[in-house]
Structure 1
Amino acid sequence: MPDPRNIAELISSCAAAIPDRPAVMDGARTISFKELDQEVSLLAAGLAGAGITPGMRVALLVTPSIEFVALTFALFRAGAIIVLVDPGIGAMNMRACLGEARPEA
């Protein structure tokens, strides 16, 4: 049973139960739950190695894609608090958003 406090653990559960089923589709690209879980694990380990710790606010400025989904779940798995910022909001609004949210990374 996955940890109900961390949604990223559902990816591991799905990877075990239905590994070859599509998890994310982005145009012509599709990755399975197994592939997504592997990518999330690699990214989460890299984030931890880079100093991302549970409870740390991390700004995420990424356009929607498979990589966005993997990075989002990796940040959740690492216990980070995601400060999601739409890169299309313009520089002034982005500065205001980041200034208010005060991400640590």
Structure 2
Amino acid sequence: MIKVKLAYHDGALTYIKVSGHANSDEYGKDLVCAGVSTIIVGVYNTLEKLGMLEIGTFKVKEGLAEFTIHKITRESQLILETLVTTLETIEMSYGDFIQIQKMEE
């Protein structure tokens, strides 16, 4: 199961943690894992390309992605909310393999 933890402060996304493996199919055929990995890496690459990595700390490795946002900007929030919306879309279809938890700090 992929677990997603999202933390908001005053309506702004300040923390994202995605951990685990979907195990929805055998290695190389796991569409849930592929979808989640693609959006995480895509968002990270977008932030890097736009020179926005200074907004926080980012850790991406096998089975774990963790973003802690220290500097809230309109642009970065739009990009990060795209990540959230995509993960929620995956959860709607594959809820047995991904679980999203939101909290307000």
Structure number with greater Rg is 1
- TM-score for both structures, normalised by structure 2: 0.32
The structure where helix makes up a greater share of residues is 1
Bigger RCO of structures 1 and 2 (CA < 8 A, at least 6 apart):
2
The structure where strand makes up a greater share of residues is 2
